[in-house]
């Protein structure tokens, strides 16, 4: 009961300081964030943060795509590490795994399903697929794709329950990732 109350309270607070909009067709230019992207059509976009874009189709707990930009010096705040242009994409991926685990909670015991090099915004980056169980034993999968461009660290992620939602909406994420262009 307490988790439900906390969730409802959070939703009420977020509802007062965030705006939602339905995504349309075409490229969304995030000029102030240094990229453009085609978000999935008819998803709901949450506008709440100047460094992050979050969209969902059926609800943020069911599936979401998130695009985040951080300064390289602030790329991994939980493990207190910086992203550096001398790092290989595989080293960035390892730092991202450590950052996720350092967040504690359900991600502390994540399993890495896939760790591969990938093109992100036309540059060599990484693609991680991780899996973890929530408190009720439901498996969630996440894909994290990241790249360092000069002094900016970009992450594009997808989060959904493994059962039904992950496979159904992974193609939407892959199209979004393929459309991601650094400016």
Is 145:130 a contact under the CB 8 Å cutoff?
Answer: no
User: Per-residue pLDDT for 3 more than 50?
Assistant: no
Show Cβ contacts of residue 33 under 8 Å, excluding neighbours closer than 6 positions.
Answer: 50, 51, 53, 67, 69
157 token code pair? 């992620």
Q: How far apart are CA 132 and CA 107, in angstroms?
A: 6
Q: How far apart are CA 130 and CA 110, in angstroms?
A: 6
Q: How far apart are CA 138 and CA 71, in angstroms?
A: 34
List Cα–Cα distances, 146 to 1, 50, 119, 152, 158, in angstroms: 37, 18, 9, 11, 12
User: Per-residue pLDDT for 18 more than 90?
Assistant: no
Q: What is the pLDDT of residues 96-108, one digit of tens each?
A: 999 999 998 999 8
178 token code pair? 């393929």
Q: What is the pLDDT of residues 122-137, one digit of tens each?
A: 999 999 999 999 989 9
Average pLDDT taken over every residue of the chain = 87
Q: What is the pLDDT of residues 51-106, one digit of tens each?
A: 899 999 999 889 999 999 999 999 999 999 999 989 999 999 999 999 999 998 99
Q: Considering the entire predicted model, what is its pTM? A: 0.86
Is 180:28 a contact under the CB 8 Å cutoff?
Answer: no
Q: How far apart are CA 161 and CA 25, in angstroms?
A: 26
User: Per-residue pLDDT for 15 more than 90?
Assistant: no
162 token code pair? 């493994």
| Percentage of residues in the chain having pLDDT higher than 90 | 70
């Amino acid at each position: 009961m307490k988790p439900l109350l906390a969730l409802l309270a959070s939703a009420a607070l977020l509802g007062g300081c965030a705006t939602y909009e339905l995504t349309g067709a075409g490229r969304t230019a995030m000029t102030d964030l240094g990229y453009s992207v085609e978000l999935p059509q008819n998803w709901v976009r949450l506008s709440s943060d100047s460094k992050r874009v979050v969209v969902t189709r059926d609800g943020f707990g069911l599936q979401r795509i998130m695009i985040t930009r951080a300064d390289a010096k602030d790329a991994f705040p939980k493990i207190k590490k910086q992203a550096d242009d001398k790092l290989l994409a595989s080293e960035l991926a390892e730092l991202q795994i450590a950052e996720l685990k350092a967040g504690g909670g359900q991600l502390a015991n994540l399993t890495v399903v896939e760790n591969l090099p990938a093109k992100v915004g036309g540059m060599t980056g990484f693609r991680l697929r991780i899996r973890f169980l929530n408190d009720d034993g439901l498996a969630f999968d996440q894909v994290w794709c990241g790249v360092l461009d000069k002094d900016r660290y970009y992450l594009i992620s997808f989060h959904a329950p493994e059962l039904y939602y992950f496979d159904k909406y992974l193609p939407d994420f892959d199209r979004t990732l393929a459309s991601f262009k650094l400016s």
